[in-house]
Amino acid sequence: MLELRLGIGDNDAIARMIGVIDSMDIKEIWPSLVKEIIHPFVIRHVRANFDAQGKLGGQNWNYNGEPKYAAYKMAATGHQEVLRWKKGRREILYPSLAFVNGFGHLFRMTSTSVRIGTTVPYAGRLAKGGVNQFGETYPGRNPMKMKRASKKNLVTMIQRGIMRGIAPKGMGIRDVRHSL
């Protein structure tokens, strides 16, 4: 399993990052923030990170230290895209992260939090790194990992969504992007 958790409770980091103050109750707009901004952003990021082979998350997925696995992968699939298998056929990890209806896609929302990711059992191991079936050590490859700029972009989008949701009530939000 691999997941991203965000929340708006008093002790949640996302609440502090987006500048939610005690007098501001955004619970009523939280579902639309998640469905219209957060979940689609994460899906787009994961797809783009797969396309960029980890570079959007600050990683560079490759098989440099895994020559045996690289040869096996080429023979089995005809390509060497990391974390991708037979595209469209029997591939599990990518669709579970990149499509809302993908088998194993994890999306759980409560009134104050959201969990987005995959229930694929080996996803966490791939994200952390380990030793493959040929005895070669492989680095962690996390498709959900974000660079600071992506995190800031998400926070800005959430702040704008909050402003659209609370501005009619005469409330405001402080910009805390500098503290990320």
Rounded CA separation 150/35 (Å) = 18
17-46, pLDDT tens digit by residue? 555 555 456 677 888 889 999 999 999 999
**Over the stretch 45-95, which tens digit does the pLDDT of each residue have?**
999 999 999 999 999 999 999 999 999 999 999 999 999 987 767 789 999
pLDDT at 176: 36
Classify 137 as helix, strand or coil.
strand
Higher-pLDDT residue of 171 and 103 is 103
* Residue 88 confidence (pLDDT): 64
**Domain assignments of the chain as residue spans, ordered by start:** 2-179
List Cβ neighbours of 18 (8 Å cut-off, separation of 6 or more).
Answer: 155, 158, 159, 162, 173, 176
Question: Cα–Cα distance between 91 and 28 in angstroms, integer?
Answer: 38
Note the pLDDT of residue 1.
85
Distance CA 120, CA 180 (A): 30
Q: Residue 14's pLDDT is what?
A: 57
The answer on pLDDT for 171 being more than 80 is no
Structure tokens at 15: 């609440």
- pLDDT of 168 reads 58
Which ranges constitute the DSSP H helices of the chain?
13-18, 30-33, 39-51, 67-77, 93-98, 123-128, 148-166
Return the ∠ at Cα 149 (arms to 146 and 155), rounded to 5°: 85
* Residue 88, phi-psi category: left (phi > 0), alpha (psi -120 to 50), beta (remainder): left
> What proportion of the chain, given as a percentage, has pLDDT over 90?
60
pLDDT (tens digit, 9 = 90+) per residue, 124-151? 999 999 999 999 999 999 999 999 999 9
The whole-number pLDDT of residue 158 equals 86
CA distance 124 to 3: 9
pLDDT bin (cut points 50, 70, 90) of residue 12 is low
pLDDT band at 5 (very low <50, low <70, confident <90, very high): confident
- Please name the helix (run of DSSP H) or strand (run of DSSP E) that holds residue 7, with its range, or none: strand 2-7
pLDDT band per the 50, 70, 90 thresholds, residue 2? confident
User: CA 164, CA 4: separation in Å to the nearest integer?
Assistant: 25
